[in-house]
A and B are shown apart, each in its own frame.
Chain A
Amino acid sequence: MAALDATRTRDGVDAQTLRTVEAMAGKYKHGWETDIETEFAPKGLNEDIVRLISEKNGEPAWLLDWRLAAFRRWQQMEEPTWAMVHYPAIDYQDQYYYARPKALSRKPRSLDEVDPRLLATYAKLGIPLREQMILAGVEGAEGAPAAARKVAVDAVFDSVSVGTTFKEELRRAGVIFCAISEAVREHPELVRKYLGSVVPPTDNFFATLNSAVFSDGSFVYVPPGVRCPMELSTYFRINAENTGQFERTLIVADRGAYVSYLEGCTAPRRDTHQLHAAVVEIVALDDAEVKYATVQNWYPGDEEGRGGIYNFVTKRADCRGARSKVMWTQVETGSAITWKYPSCILRGDDSQGEFYSIAIANNAQQADTGTKMIHLGRNTRSRIVSKGISAGRAQNTYRGLVSVHPRAAGSRNYTQCDSLLIGNRCGAHTVPYIEVRNSSSRVEHEATTSKVDEDQLFYCRSRGMSEEEAVALVVNGFCREVLQALPMEFAMEAQSLVAISLEGSVG
């Protein structure tokens, strides 16, 4: 109750709402898999909840106004239906929009203050060994034999960031890496300048919802000419039931800066669907380079399609400066529904965008994912390599836009879309949109669809591999170009994830 007691009632916050919040929090909900007391705001969404979230993050008035404007806009918007995904209507009033581990009522000053059960959860679910050590031992893990390369981690549990590692070392390099709620307080000028500048609060139904209710996420700023001394990483975890997670990530690489960013996601197994609507914005100024890699392993639901995360995510990079470069790499193995199109606006002349994707859909999963490459600047280049794998009854759609504007003379795009089918009840679909509005640009599109070949599987098995090992090997071969684009530690994780996601897909 401590935090809630401390919440000062602000003008406009309904007293009834506050009382409900207090009553809820007093009951100490327990998480299912992680036995951590969680505080919730009451179910449902209205202006008071938006105000409450803003209040709890101690936000300035401009941000509250920004959220409220987004919320009012959102109320007039309709959920998009053009994607090739089918799901029962989401009751947006039947969700919690704010949850946080009780132990974090006071923000921890260091990871030592973080509930060890929270860290244990991160250790148990999907965080690579190296990062577990760093998370668990914080700075001490540097000397550990496995920690050949340092990775700074920001972990987000339900709605709240639980702690960021290596802060001091990053600060010496001038890099800001912290929870976005903290950045709003500590670096308001940067946040205000860039927040919503790539994905405006009016962008689309889910991004607008996120703008109204985002509770936390990560913020990165790399100053001019600085090469970030280590990989940055965020782990997102949805633990509480019926909780939407709406994190907001903002990455700014100033002139000539470089940063590589990794994002991992997990959620426990639950019978109910959980909503995830994140926004990631990347800004790359002149000569800056950003690499953003995601390994998304949200709970996909069971064989019958019960439970699983609804993943509606807006990720966009603005290659604002000349010669800037952004590379998206994603391995999408989880979620019941994936709706996600990490995109690049190639605004600066000679800027470059790359998109490497592996999307695996098994059982009843549905994925509609791809990218948009918007060529605005001259001599801009983009490259898209998409590998879609469908098994079980899953439907997997690549949806992509390559748009070359009149001013973008001399631009080039290369797109390769490969689909692999396992079994005969799944589907693969490719929906490329290509618009070229000048005569000096070149766009190439290649697409293939194939089935996992019985001969390949038999060949592997005749050498001693089990059927599942054989499928994993063949599929990993199919994905190789994308796996190679991943940072080393993620590539290993992604490979085993490919195998795990396809368990039971044959035989």
Chain B
Amino acid sequence: MLEIRNLHVELEDGGTPILKGVNLAVKGGEVHAIMGPNGSGKSTLSYVLSGRDGYVVTQGSATLDGADLLAMAPEERAAAGLFLAFQYPVEIPGVGNMTFLRTALNAQRKARGEAEVSAADFLKLVRAKAKALAIDAEMLRRPVNVGFSGGEKKRNEILQMAVLEPKLCILDETDSGLDVDAMKLVADGVNALRDAGRGFVVITHYQRLLDHIRPDIVHIMADGRIVRTGGPELALEVESNGYAGILAEVA
């Protein structure tokens, strides 16, 4: 599914190298966790994959089901099945949450040559998905992320994911700023979407999210590279010993 090979990326502004040869392969049905200290390049990886401006790929490739992600516009990547749950979801004043979601869904369907979803069907679909995430009708009517609490914003990201049904989901520090109850809701939402055809990349600092979203594979990222890969036990090792031990070992 997702295949990243020797990816090198630098900042457009100033040319500082951030990613220095990332390799990662995610298959359908797998949940990969990427952990690592601040500044290791985790968020950059998520931005580069989703097509944000400001980065230059100097080497390497990234493909989704064989299609060259790096050659596509952000919206084409979305239509191809890539979804990024933002660490800091963006506020869009005056645009209703429902309008936003419906515009997004129909844009993707159009890009894939599918028929648009009718207003009635869409309402039914969103209501069903929203219920599981404890998102009420009032929150659906409010402008996108405006005045939302941290937990509401993250739940809203998961709602978008549930409605858009991507093939590959990247969660960028979705647990940051969440209390335990909110994290549980988010994790339940993600777990409900797990199936054999869908891959996940969960970026996080902490083990605690991984208690709720059990990863198949854990990667440790440091200084722009994946320095160790293991099973869930690797996350536990980080939890008890911090990154220092692993980083010293690699160095």
Determine whether A227 belongs to the interface, using a CB cutoff of 8 Å to chain B: no
- Residue B9 at the chain A interface, CB threshold 8 Å: no
Instruction: Give Cα A459 to B83, complex, Å.
Output: 11
Q: Mark A436-479, 1 if CB is under 8 A from B, else 0.
A: 00000000000000000111101111111111010001101111
**Residues A471-496 near B (CB distance < 8 A):** 473-474, 476-481
Task: Determine if B94 is an interface residue (Cβ-Cβ < 8 Å).
Answer: yes
- On chain A, the residues within 8 Å of B91 by CB distance are 456
Is there an interface contact between B74 and A458, defined as CB atoms closer than 8 Å? Answer: yes
Q: Is B90 engaged at the interface, CB distance under 8 Å to the other chain? A: yes
Chain B, interface size category, equals 20 to 34
B78 contacts A463, C-beta separation under 8 Å: yes
Q: Which of A466, A476, A480 contacts B107 (CB 8 A)?
A: A466
Known contacts A455-B90, A459-B90, A480-B94; A464/B73 CB under 8 A: no
From A453, A455, A461, name the one whose CB has the most chain B CB atoms within 10 angstroms.
Answer: A461
What are 6 sample pairs from A and B whose C-beta atoms fall under 8 A apart?
A462-B50, A462-B77, A464-B75, A464-B105, A477-B95, A477-B143
CA distance A405 to B218 in the complex (A): 73
Which listed residue (B53, B92, B111, B143) contacts A459, Cβ 8 A?
B92
A418 to chain B, nearest CB (A): 10
Q: Verify A464–B92 contact, CB threshold 8 A.
A: no
Cβ-defined partner of B92 (8 Å) among A461, A467, A477, A479: A477
Q: Let me know if A463 and B160 touch, CB within 8 A.
A: yes
Chain A residues within 8 Å of B160, by CB: 463
For the A-B complex with A461-B75, A462-B83 known, give 7 more contacts whose Cβ atoms are closer than 8 Å.
Answer: A456-B91, A459-B86, A461-B73, A462-B78, A464-B108, A464-B164, A480-B95
CA distance A477 to B142 in the complex (A): 12
Give chain A residues whose Cβ lies under 8 Å from the Cβ of B84: 462
Closest to A458 in B: B52
Nearest B residue (CB) for A483:
B94
What distance in Å separates the Cβ of A389 from its nearest Cβ neighbour in chain B? 13
Total A residues in contact with B, Cβ cutoff 8 Å = 23
In the complex, which residue of chain B has the Cβ closest to the Cβ of A472? B103
Q: Is the CB of B143 within 8 A of A461?
A: no
In the complex the two chains form, is B75's CB within 8 Å of A465's CB? yes
Q: List B222-243 residues whose CB lies under 8 Å from chain A.
A: none
Chain A interface (Cβ within 8 Å of chain B)? 453-456, 458-467, 469, 473-474, 476-481
A477 close to B94 (CB less than 8 A): yes
Taking a contact as CB atoms closer than 8 A, the residue among A456, A462, A478, A479 that contacts B74 in the complex is A462
Minimum distance in angstroms from B166 CB to a CB of chain A: 10
CA distance A186 to B84 in the complex (A): 67
Q: Which B residues, 52 to 110, have Cβ-Cβ distances below 8 Å to chain A?
A: 52-53, 73-75, 77-79, 83-84, 86, 89-95, 99-100, 103-105, 107-108
In this assembly, does B51 line the interface, its C-beta being within 8 Å of a C-beta of chain A? yes
Residue ID in chain A nearest B76 by CB atoms: A464
The CA of A480 and the CA of B143, in the complex, are separated in Å by 11
A464 interface neighbour in B95, B99, B107, B143, Cβ under 8 Å: B107
Contact pick for A473, options B51, B79, B90, B103, CB 8 Å? B103
Q: Which residues of B sit under 8 angstroms from A465, Cβ to Cβ?
A: 75, 103-104, 107
- Best-buried of B79, B91, B93, B104 by chain A (most CB within 10 Å): B104
* Top 6 closest pairs, chain A to chain B, by CB: A477-B94, A477-B95, A480-B94, A464-B108, A463-B104, A464-B78
The answer on a CB contact under 8 Å between A456 and B92 is yes
Q: Which residues of B contact A455 (CB under 8 A)?
A: 90
Q: Which of B83, B84, B95 has the most CB of A within 10 A?
A: B95
Q: How distant is the Cα of A417 from the Cα of B100 in the complex, in angstroms?
A: 25
A476 touches B94 (CB 8 A): yes
Cα distance A155–B130 in the bound complex, in angstroms:
48
- Alpha-carbon distance between A454 and B51 when the two chains are bound, in angstroms: 13
**B50 and A473 contact, CB distance less than 8 A:** no
**Residues of chain A within 8 A of B89, CB atoms compared:** 459
Contact of A473 with B78 in the complex, beta carbons under 8 Å: no
Please judge, given known A-B contacts A458-B53, A461-B75, A464-B79, whether A474 and B107 are in contact too, CB under 8 Å.
no
Q: Could you tell me the distance in whole angstroms from the C-beta of A503 to the nearest C-beta in chain B?
A: 16
**Contacts A456-B90, A464-B108 given; does A469 touch B51 at CB 8 Å:** no
Query: How far, in angstroms, from A469 to B105 measured CA to CA in the complex?
Result: 12
Contact B73 A474 (CB under 8 A): no
Q: 1/0 contact trace for B174-217 toward A, CB 8 Å?
A: 00000000000000000000000000000000000000000000
B172: shortest Cβ distance to chain A, in Å?
11
Q: B53 near A454 (CB under 8 angstroms)? A: yes
